[in-house]
Amino acid sequence: MTISDFKGQGVVLNFWATWCVPCIKEMPALVHLKELLSEDNITVLALSEDRGGTKKVIPFFKKLGIEGLDVLIDKRGKVARKSGVRGLPVTILIDAEGLERGRVTGIAQWDNPDVVDFVRRCIGPKNTL
């Protein structure tokens, strides 16, 4: 699975790592955000920067009970560098055309109703921002 597999829909792309405490804190809110946006043609992707790849990430998700979040691996940091990511967590909002419409550096309360509404307006099918 790659980011290009999601062309034609909005993407909330979260850069994170298992060693990043703020990243771990926001994971439950990202899972909930994905549930809240399930009918909006918007997906939430967790792009791991762990060098251990899936061998590190999958057991970590199981240990924390994180389910339903699609995980991509960027163990060499290529996508992060290309995207200008300098720290973690960083979340990029990408519209259905593949254009970056917003970026959040640091932890966010992704399932807050105002934030969910902003994401819908920013990268949903009827984006109004």
pLDDT of residue 5: 83
Q: How confident is the model at residue 116 (pLDDT cuts 50, 70, 90)?
A: very high
Bridging pattern class, strands 70-73 and 42-48: parallel
Close Cβ partners of 127 (under 8 Å, ≥ 6 residues apart): 10, 95, 101, 121
b/e per residue, 108-120, with b = 16+ CB within 10 A? bebbeeebbeebb
Q: In what order do the strands lie in the sheet with 100-105?
A: 70-73, 42-48, 10-16, 90-94, 100-105
Look at residue 128 and tell me if it is in a domain.
no
Q: What angle do CA 48, 77, 83 make, to 5 degrees?
A: 95
**pTM of this structure:** 0.94
* pLDDT one-digit tens code per residue, 15-60: 999 999 999 999 999 999 999 999 999 999 999 999 999 999 999 9
Does residue 3 register a pLDDT over 80?
no
Look at residue 37 and tell me if it is in a domain.
yes
Does residue 129 register a pLDDT over 80?
no
Residue 16's Cα: distance from chain center in Å?
A: 8
- The total number of structural domains in the chain stands at 1
Specify the DSSP element, H or E, that contains 77.
Answer: none
pLDDT of residue 4: 80
Look at residue 3 and tell me if it is in a domain.
no
* pLDDT one-digit tens code per residue, 69-109: 999 999 899 999 999 999 999 999 999 999 999 999 999 99
| 67 neighbors 30 (Cβ within 8 angstroms) | no
**Domain of 54?**
9-123
Mean pLDDT of the chain: 94
Assign 22 to helix, strand or coil. helix
Give the CATH number for residue 108: 3.40.30.10
Look at residue 25 and tell me if it is in a domain.
yes
Does residue 111 register a pLDDT over 90?
yes
